Amino acid sequence: MTIIVMTGANSGIGKVAAERLLERGNRLIIGARGPGCPEAAKVRALDLNNLDTVRAFAATFDATPLDAVALNAGSQRYDVDARTAQGFEQTFGVNHLAHYLLARLLLPQIKNGGTLVFTASGTHDPAEKTGVPAPRHANAEWLAYPGRDPNADKRAMIAGMRAYSSSKLCNVMTARSLAKHPEVVARGLRVFAYDPGLTPGTGLVRATPFLVRKLVWPLLPLLQPFSGGMNSLANAGRGLADLIDGNIGGNTGIYCALRRAKPTWPLPSTIAQDDDACASLWRDSAAMVGLPI
């Protein structure tokens, strides 16, 4: 039986993907801190806001060989005021650092030929023109401690949304770094960053201002037939499930973007393709979570 570990499976894209994976006969172990996960899955406590619980969660798999790890959970805020238990800006800490740590801790448990997936976002690429403020950099220190960024946004909402797109850039860059990691290459592991496109109905909507949440967001599904970058919740979740359990064929890269409900394989953003920037992010992230390079 295929064993899959997953975060972010109690709502939105992740829950749809989890249900699909369970329907296909997979054994699913979900890391979560709240209710809502599919009943057929096994749930273990995990709070991505605290790296200590990430380490404790990972330690429960010391003797469990895994077929796939799906790092899907995400947080979005309209400011950069909140901090994780370790003092990092919360969006960066939850979306990037916690998943970076979990990926590295679980890497030895993934079977040869297994799969590791990060849920990223097209917002990481300025060329996509998603409407979300695009990342300016992937400087881990400035993202973890926004007050140190000399060009930090003054408006709270802009800063919060840029923190989100920057964290998704970090997801893509981490996937690229892992894909070239000697252990990953030697063991034939597959590493992907998945962009589900704009997907109405995800848990991210809970962070939006009232007018956006109640007026704009409910109307977005009506625009889906006219937007190549927008997908239904069902299609986005199915795309994630297919990537996790190997049902997407013909892949030609690391970055998989769902467009009109079909997987495509574009190049990621220019920053994400910068090998030096990827190496710096990897090195600085390792120091922040207390791991060797």
Q: What is the per-residue pLDDT across 64-73, written as a single tens digit (0 to 9) for each?
A: 999 999 999 9
- Identity of the residue numbered 24: R
pLDDT at 226: 44
Q: How confident is the model at residue 213 (pLDDT cuts 50, 70, 90)?
A: very low
Question: Tokens 């120091």 belong to which residue?
Answer: 287
> Mean of the per-residue pLDDT values for the chain?
91
CATH of residue 122's domain is: 3.40.50.720
Task: Give the contacts of 77 (CB within 8 A, at least 6 positions apart).
Answer: 90, 91, 160, 163, 164, 207
pLDDT at 237: 97
What's the domain count of the chain? 1
Cα–Cα distance list, 120 to 7, 13, 19, 165, 245 (Å): 13, 12, 20, 9, 18
pLDDT at 223: 47
Q: Is 29 helix (H, G, I), strand (E, B) or coil?
A: strand
| Mean pLDDT for the stretch of residues 97-108 | 98
Which segments of 107-230 does DSSP mark as H helices, in order? Answer: 140-144, 156-179, 182-187, 210-211, 220-223
Mind listing the pLDDT tens digit for each residue in 38-57?
Answer: 999 999 999 999 999 999 99
Give the pair of three-digit tokens for residue 218: 């409910």
206/185: higher pLDDT: 185
CA distance 97 to 50: 10
Residue-range definition of the domain harbouring residue 133: 3-289
Query: 198: which DSSP letter?
Result: B
Does 214 score more than 70 pLDDT?
no
Does 130 score more than 60 pLDDT?
yes
Does 206 score more than 60 pLDDT?
no
Question: CB-hemisphere CA count at 13 Å for 224?
Answer: 21
**Exposure class string for 141-168: b at 16+ Cβ within 10 A, else e:** ebbbbbeebeeebeeeebbbbbbbbbbb
CA distance 19 to 41: 9
- Identity of the residue numbered 252: T
For 127, list phi and psi in degrees, rounded to 5.
Answer: -65, -20
Question: Tokens 């090998």 belong to which residue?
Answer: 275
pTM: 0.92
Helix (H) or strand (E) holding 275: helix 275-289
> C-alpha angle with apex 54: 180 to 163, nearest 5 degrees?
70
Among candidate residues 167, 177, 170, 6, the one with its CA nearest the CA of residue 104? 177
